[in-house]
Structure 1
Amino acid sequence: MTVQTVVHLNFRGDAREALEFYRDVSGGELTTVTYEDLGAVTDPSEAKQVMWGQVVAGGGFHVMAFDVPADRAHEQGVDAFFVSIRGTTSEEVERLWNGLSEGATVRTAFGPAPWSPAYGMLTDRFGVTWVLDVAVAS
């Protein structure tokens, strides 16, 4: 089983700026995908905002981030991060999903997504929000 756990930061319109800052600090590589890139625009003013982004640097530095869409409640510093679990197979990620979902509030049902064969989001019974997906080769 190959699973990686990463902190996933949540912003409102400034995820790109934050990721660029973390890239500069860490010397890492920045990758971003916008809502427009994935055909997931619900508000035209947010088309160029980050739907998914990450900075990965040598030595283990790795953060992910996105811009919370305006149609979802967001207050800076409140629900400021998710814990992201990425695996290499749907089976291993689904096993973790099944365990974490006991007593949880499902925010996005586990299933196929435009960027992954399996994705889901839940808030566990302790109030921690987890984002689980299968990483695909880029």
Structure 2
Amino acid sequence: MALSTTTHLNFRGEARAALEFYQSVFGGHLTAIAYGDFGMPRELPDADKIVFGQVTAGNGFSVMAYDVPGQAPAAAAPAVTTREHGMTLTGERFFVSVRGETVEEVGALWDRLADGADIVEKYGPSQWAPGFGMLTDRFGVTWILDVAAPYAG
């Protein structure tokens, strides 16, 4: 039996903009279906919000998102982070992790995703990978981008 997992992000009125941004970063196909497309009367406030959204790319990238119904848009808040003894400490419950094969391919994704983001750790070489970086994007989602490297321990 084969399994796969896809990150599903929950927004409050920003799912369409977030998915369009992620498509501009990672490429691929965007699907965005509004509540109104599923029969919600068009005059209701949530009718144009996303009930099902997804970006899938041929390189393996996939993310899903929707707008929590009945919720007002919330401003994206940067992740609360501190540096202690060379480590990044954060209260975030999850990160979205993207791993690529080369410093150049991951660096190109980093450059696009970093547009409007709060940089937690600048992309560059780390102790465990030839390329690593952490940021919180303009929608409040924290991402880790790194380059796959065999463990040398």
Q: TM-score, normalised by structure 2?
A: 0.44
Q: TM-score, normalised by structure 1?
A: 0.48
- Look at both structures and tell me which one has the larger radius of gyration over its CA atoms: 2
